Each structure stands twice: as structure tokens, then as C-alpha cells.
Chain A
Amino acid sequence: EDQVTQSPEALRLQEGESSSLNCSYTVSGLRGLFWYRQDPGKGPEFLFTLYSAGEEKEKERLKATLTKKESFLHITAPKPEDSATYLCAASPSGSARQLTFGSGTQLTVLP
């Protein structure tokens, strides 16, 4: 069974305190690994797609990396507006359309 597990469940950081979120996946042939941001009362907002081990992508203070078993979302010098739930999702080879989501990491950045 395809599975995506995220850790930690919750993370509190001081503004400027860098950290990483983890996403481990067990899927039958990974087509793509996605990171989304979700604010309270909103739908997930796309951040990155990673396709192969060793790939990295950056956007402002966020950098996503991928290995054969895990993905990391690194947050450098976060600001309070980075506070959100970060979701990881995998697209397995057995399915062309559906994403399997993790349960998310709720990030709080304190000023």
C-alpha cells in the first residue's frame, strides 16, 4: 500500500531559526513528489514537484530535496508569514492522476 509519512507533526520556530521538515514515502514507482502549503480554511497551494533522487528546487526561503526514500523541505530564516501546514504528496506509478498525501507538518514561526 502506498504511504506518505511526515514528521514532525508540529514545529515551532523563532523567526530566523532555520529547520527542515521530513517526508518519507513508500510508493510503487514514484512519478513525482509534491509539496503543498495549506493555510487555515484554504485548499492546498502548490509549492514544488520533484521527479528524481538528487533533485532540488528552491523558492524564496524554501528548498525541497528528494532522495530515494525521503524528501526534505528546508526553511531558511523563516518569517511569521511562513506559518502554515506543509503537505507532502506522492504520485505513484500505478495511478496517473491521484496523489497520496501525508498528514502534514503544522509550522508556526514566532516573531
Chain B
Amino acid sequence: EPEVTQTPSHQVTQMGQEVILRCVPISNHLYFYWYRQILGQKVEFLVSFYNNEISEKSEIFDDQFSVERPDGSNFTLKIRSTKLEDSAMYFCASSSRGATNEKLFFGSGTQLSVL
């Protein structure tokens, strides 16, 4: 069964550094998402992306964050000037259709630790 692939599985960085989290969505999917889960808290929506632009973003997704689809297969989340509170599990997801109730396929996540 096709799956969403995320790399790296773990990322450790120093506060103030920039990190790029990478995702390869399912190949025929058109909608891409980033969610995060701080330890012990709920899964939170960050951003959705379609047709090479952001379609929705949450209050969490401020100027510190950016997303990009640099080629036909990768989808990245860049976090500039990382803070301690950015430490979380970051999940990439994708879906195939534009229907609002389309199910999402999630990757296994990147555990980001900011020291």
C-alpha cells in the first residue's frame, strides 16, 4: 500500500537554527498538509497546500514557518530560528481529492528536538 514518507525520523537542533523537514506524499495525491503534536498534547493543524500554494494555515503557522514543493515528489516544512517550544512530532499528510471530507494519509512523523 502506498505511504507518506518523512525524513528524518529524528532531528535535533540548537535554538535559533533553521531546520527543514521533508516529506514524500503519495504519488497521485494533490493536497498536502503539515500537523504537529507536542508531547502529551493534541495533534494540531499547521498548514494545507494545493496547486503550489497555501490553501489554509493556522495561527501557529506564522512567519517562522514556510512550506514548499520544490519538485514533483517532495513537500518540505522549513522552520526558521527555532525555539524550544517548537519541539514536537511533525506529521506530513496527503489526500487525493478536493472534497472537504477526504481522508488524510499520515506519515510516521519527524520528532524535532530543539535544545
Contact = CB atoms under 8 A, between A and B. Distances in A.
Interface of A: 31-32, 34, 36, 41-46, 49, 51, 87, 89, 91, 95-104
Contacts of A49: 101, 103
Interface stretch (B12-20, B36-44, B64-72, B74-82): B36-44
25 contacts: A41-B108, A41-B109, A43-B91, A43-B106, A43-B109, A44-B106, A45-B106, A46-B105, A49-B101, A49-B103, A51-B101, A87-B43, A91-B101, A96-B56, A96-B100, A97-B33, A97-B45, A97-B48, A98-B48, A98-B58, A99-B43, A100-B45, A101-B42, A102-B42, A103-B41
Contact of B101 (A32, A36, A100, A102): A32
Contacts of A41: 108-109
B contact residues, range: 20 to 34
B115 interface: no
Interface of B: 4, 31, 33, 35, 41-45, 48, 55-56, 58, 91, 93, 100-101, 103-109
